[in-house]
Structure 1
Amino acid sequence: MAESSHRGRGNIRRLLDSFEMTGPQGKHVVLVFEPAQMSLRDMRLVFRRGGFDEDFVRGTIIELLEALDFLHTHGEVVHTDVHPGNLLLGVYDNDLLKPFEEREFSSPVPRKLVSPTRLIYLSRLMRPKEGPMLLSDFGEARIGPGPHGGDIMPLEYRAPETLHYVGWSYPVDIWSVGLTAWDLLESKKLFTARDEDGDLYDAAHLAQLIAALGPPPPEFLARNPERKADFWDEQGKWLGLAPIPCDRTIEALETRLEDNTGFLRFIRRALTWIPEERATAKEFLQDPWLTGKLTCS
């Protein structure tokens, strides 16, 4: 992978070095990564609370898909944790960081000693500059196409196959691409995974999926009959453990675009009950919403 000329390789945050440090709790492995600016999640919270412009989101998603195509096809890696908090704005030139470094020497940020062995620092805000999108944080990544098992992904980002306790593979990353595009553009989350009291609840999450995507196909439910019995009857009818929020459709929650046809079509290609029906990262790079080649349907 290190020698690959694939375009997506440049959108993976590089590991430069590693070493061990000994502290009060024993030895710790320290990983040294290439420098980067803030995450897109933090960038939005600080500068664009209402959401980014559509063109910015398009460019970001293209770079993310390039990164995932590289991981999936050249490395056989499932990232499993794709979301705006793990998308960092990189730097084209490390000289961009020199003023930041000089200010830290001349006027250090406030710091606090919270224990004899632990010192915490206040973050210094740096206004973002142009740079590549870098996919980071491979702590939950899986090697090989799978199928894999176990809980993965942030709760509200969990794909249907992970909620249904069946094997998963590369398509979980594609599901996350759809939700990442949504969260970068829209002001409200598509799925919260919470009930009316604000508590995390699988039934509430599944009810939100039904509202947005329609009921799951019988062949999806058949992949895990025991899990199906927790939420659906023998005929596949929802048992009603959580009410279906009929007002939380994809069309109703999209509020920012005058012409949202291409965007909504993109979202629906990424968010499908059946994982095999999702486009691959390579296929998505030709999506009309990303290429600007929208056609009437």
Structure 2
Amino acid sequence: MVEEENIPGYVAARYYPTRIGEILKDRYQVVGKLGFGASSTVWLARDMDRRRYVALKIFIKSASMGQQLDDELRIYKRIAVSQRHPGHEYVRSLLDSFDIDGPEDKHRCLVHPPLWESVLAFLFRNPIRRLPTPVLAVTLHRLFLALDYLHTECKIIHTGIKFSPNLYFYSLLIILSDIKADNLMFGISDDSVFTDFEETELQDPCPRKEVDGRVIYISRNLRMPKQLGAPILCDFGSAVFGDEEHSEDIQPDIYRAPEVILEVPWTYSVDVWNAGCMIWDLFEGGSLFSGQDSEFQRYRSRAHLAEMICLLGPPPPSLLARGKSTPKFFSEDGEFCAGVSVQGHTPLQERETSLEGQEKEKFLRLVRKMLQWEPEKRSSAKELEQDEWVQNEIHK
């Protein structure tokens, strides 16, 4: 099996049978395959009208995606309304969208500026799996600008969730969109990366497999650009509007914010909590929380809360009073009584191992601004963009 065939519940007929060299919408000529996922494949293409390269994200059958496709377009339309904010350039834009008639159903195609690889993939280029301090600082600075733009100008929360029960025949897929390293991608200012990709495909076609008249291509990587562009925040497939009330269960397990676990209505600050957790993945070589329950040998909310208490101390009564699920984990007196023990208090300064002295203290002050029990006490993205540690590092 190759590429998307390895995805559990894979059904070939759900994917549009894209072919290299094919022209879509009488305008976009497919050059090669960049990647694949459970709900889409991504291709590099030539925009023959504008004489530029673009990335085509072609989704599986529209009937399998439900309302998500239209919701994502609504998000992109709101993102495009205001472009004067400095964070606009660090949010992935939508150039075009259209539907393709497939053998069985329509397929939505989103057209984006092409990017290089994700911060997560870049992280794995480093043997110690940690971003260098200057790269981390620039990444966070651009991320905070992007989030400030989304939160203040667009009224959009990046973190969200959509359930797509029809996506797989045998299983329910939960599509998550959150602030994490594989949703941040580096831009490319050098078009030679794309021309080299196209020339390589012409001279040495990628391996492929043909099954029942369909061709499954092996993805080809873009070469390393001479200079990395700015990190861009991507993937708005499950973003939500912030001017609506939300209490849904969201976020991947280890990134879940306290208010999400306790069922307190959440808003823009869940993105800030997400970013705070992500920093540990990028800079410390491991996740801040695991949520692994020794009794059940898997993630459980109670284990996650116990880890939060170990790191941050007990949650304030004002937060507990607002949570629908508080009685599952805490007594009326605010004592944690969920059936797992809380290990001794381990403050952030004991968990941080990459920095020393004043630089370490400044860095930890930044992290503490994001990792607060109470959503209202977390700093805004705008405040974080002006943080002392971030500003010092990007101006060195």
TM, length-normalised to structure 1: 0.91
Match of 2:201 among 85, 88, 104: 104
- Residue 43 of structure 1 and its aligned partner are, at CA, apart by 1.2
Aligned with residue 182 of structure 1, among 273, 280, 294 = 280
How far 1:223 sits from its partner (Å)?
Answer: 0.2
User: Pairwise mapping of residues 154-193 of structure 1 onto structure 2 (< 5 A)?
Assistant: 154-193=252-291
* Equivalent residues, number: 292
Residue aligning to 1:73: 152
- Deviations along 1:119-148, one digit per CA (max 9) or x if unpaired, are 141443633541111100001111133331
Q: Output the CA distance in 1 between the equivalents of 2:143 and 2:383.
A: 13
Q: 1:78 is aligned with what amino acid? A: I
| Correspondence list, 1:81-160, <5 A | 81-113=178-210, 116-117=213-214, 119-124=216-221, 126-127=223-224, 129-160=227-258
- What are structure 1's unaligned runs of at least 5 residues? none
Corresponding residue for residue 18 of structure 1: 97
For 1:275, the equivalent position in structure 2 comes to 375
The corresponding residue for 1:52 is 131
Q: 1:210 to 1:115 in 2, by over 3 A?
A: farther
Cα RMSD of the aligned pairs, angstroms, is 2.0
What's 1:244 paired with?
342
The whole-number CA distance in structure 1 between the counterparts of 2:262 and 2:211 is 43
The answer (yes or no) to whether the contact 2:129–2:285 under 8 Å persists in 1 is yes
Query: For residues 113 and 263 of structure 1, do their structure 2 counterparts lie closer, same or farther at Cα, with a shift above 3 Å needed?
Result: farther
Q: Secondary structure at the match of 1:46?
A: coil
Does 1 or 2 have the higher relative contact order (CA < 8 Å, sep 6+)? Answer: 1
Aligned to 2:317: 218
Q: 1:268 to 1:3 in 2, by over 3 A?
A: closer
| 1:34 correspondence with 2:131 | no
Aligned partner of 2:230: which letter? P
Distance 1:117 1:248, change over 3 A: farther
Q: Tell me the distance in 1 between the aligned counterparts of 2:375 and 2:233.
A: 22
SS of structure 2 residue aligned to 1:126: coil
- Point out 4+ residue stretches in structure 1 off by more than 3 angstroms: 46-49, 113-118, 245-249
Amino acid paired to 2:344 = C
CA 1:49–1:26 in structure 2 vs 1: closer, same or farther (change >3 Å)? farther
Measured in 2, the distance between the counterparts of 1:118 and 1:245 equals 54
* 1:19 positional shift: 1.5
Partner of 1:203: 302
Shift of 1:8: 0.5
Q: Helix, strand or coil for the counterpart of 2:228?
A: coil
Can you list the C-alpha shifts for 1:55-107, whole angstroms capped at 9, x where unaligned?
Answer: 21111100000001111111011111111110000112333322122112211
Decide whether the 8 Å contact of 1:15 with 1:31 is kept in 2. yes
Q: Could you list the per-position Cα deviations for residues 153-176 of structure 1 after superposition, in whole angstroms to 9, with x for gaps in the alignment?
A: 222111111111121111011111
- Based on CA coordinates, which of the two structures has the bigger radius of gyration? 2
CA distance in 2, matches of 1:31, 1:223: 40
Distance 1:48 1:74, change over 3 A: farther
Structure 2: distance between partners of 1:60 and 1:279: 18
| CA distance in structure 1 between the aligned counterparts of 2:215 and 2:309, rounded to whole angstroms | 47
CA distance in 2, matches of 1:118, 1:96: 25
TM-score in terms of structure 2 length? 0.69
Give the corresponding residue for 1:264.
364
**39-48 or 206-215, which deviates more:** 39-48
The separation in 2 between residues aligned to 1:62 and 1:48, in whole angstroms, is 24
Q: Give the secondary structure class of the aligned counterpart of 2:293.
A: coil
Cα distance between partner residues in 2 of 1:241 and 1:127 = 50
User: How far apart, CA to CA, are the structure 2 residues paired with 1:114 and 1:248?
Assistant: 55
Change (3 A) 1:15 1:198: farther
